């Protein structure tokens, strides 16, 4: 049977990964968190002491960056050059680094190629910024998830606090506003809703309601 592709795009904190993870489990699909791949590149660059603003420096080490995605206990893990960095990529510093390196075309080419191969091999729910517009333009279902930036920042702040990170709400909000701006104004594959994507605003929805709404859209579009 041909693989089924569900593309979920939107700004950070809209609920993409939580919803995609949950529904992949329910549907038996593979969940692909493409942001984690950009984060892994960001982490590599930071660890090597290369400035994230040095495009030529970043591009020069791209071939050395070996990213492997695998699944353990139904969760996506990401290995960077053989080391499991699943948790190391979730800091505010690496969020910023990911956003910056994701603006470089050569970085995007490498990761989009990996993402397309995964989308051909498996039935996937893939989340990111350019899945419906660029990575999987023929996806069976395209959803654009959004919510007011203050709501998204509060969700991300609560998540980081729960993980024991030392951040303030104001910091998370300004970080998110900057990333929203950068991700949607960059030259290559900026964040935008695909013309044929269904937009879902999750600001006034609970997580359960958001999951149910996305589940309904998938069902209407695919009969699954």
Where do contacts with ligand DC occur on this chain (CB under 6 A)?
A: 12, 34-35, 38-39, 95, 98-99, 102, 128-131, 179, 183
Cβ closer to ligand DC: 39 or 155? 39
**Residue matched to tokens 């071939």:** 63
Contacts of 116 (CB under 8 A, 6+ apart): 135, 136
What gap in Å lies between CA 73 and CA 86, rounded to an integer?
Answer: 14
Q: How many CB atoms lie within 10 A of CB 41?
A: 27
Cβ closer to ligand DC: 10 or 29? 10
Cβ closer to ligand DC: 137 or 224? 137
Question: Considering the complex, what minimum distance in angstroms separates the CB of residue 95 from ligand DC?
Answer: 6
**Residue matched to tokens 């990333």:** 179
Can you name the residues that pair with 192 across neighbouring β-strands?
none
Cβ closer to ligand DC: 96 or 161? 96
224 three-state secondary structure: coil
Cβ closer to ligand DC: 35 or 119? 35
What gap in Å lies between CA 13 and CA 29, rounded to an integer?
Answer: 22
Question: Considering the complex, what minimum distance in angstroms separates the CB of residue 223 from ligand DC?
Answer: 27
Question: Considering the complex, what minimum distance in angstroms separates the CB of residue 186 from ligand DC?
Answer: 8
What gap in Å lies between CA 80 and CA 82, rounded to an integer?
Answer: 5
What gap in Å lies between CA 58 and CA 44, rounded to an integer?
Answer: 9
What gap in Å lies between CA 123 and CA 20, rounded to an integer?
Answer: 13
Cβ closer to ligand DC: 27 or 112? 112
Using an 8 Å Cβ cutoff, are 95 and 12 in contact? yes
């Amino acid at each position: 049977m041909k693989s089924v592709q569900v593309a979920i795009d939107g700004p950070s904190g809209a609920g993409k990964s939580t919803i995609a993870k949950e529904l992949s489990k329910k549907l038996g699909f593979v969940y692909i968190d493409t942001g984690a791949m950009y984060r892994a590149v960001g982490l590599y660059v930071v660890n090597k002491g290369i400035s994230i603003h040095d495009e030529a420096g970043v591009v020069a080490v791209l071939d050395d960056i070996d990213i492997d995605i695998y699944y353990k206990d139904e969760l996506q893990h990401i290995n960077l050059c053989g080391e499991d960095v699943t948790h190391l990529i979730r800091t505010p510093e690496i969020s910023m680094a990911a956003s910056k390196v994701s603006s470089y075309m050569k970085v995007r080419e490498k990761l989009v190629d990996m993402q397309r191969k995964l989308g051909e091999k498996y039935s996937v729910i893939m989340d990111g910024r350019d899945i419906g517009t660029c990575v999987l333009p023929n996806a069976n279902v395209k959803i654009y998830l959004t919510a007011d930036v203050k709501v998204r920042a509060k969700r991300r702040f609560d998540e980081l606090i729960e993980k024991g990170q030392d951040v303030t709400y104001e910091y998370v909000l300004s970080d998110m506003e900057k990333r929203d701006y950068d991700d949607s104004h960059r030259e290559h594959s900026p964040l935008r809703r695909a013309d044929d994507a269904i937009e879902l605003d999750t600001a006034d929805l609970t997580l359960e309601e958001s999951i149910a709404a996305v589940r309904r859209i998938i069902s209407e579009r695919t009969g699954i």
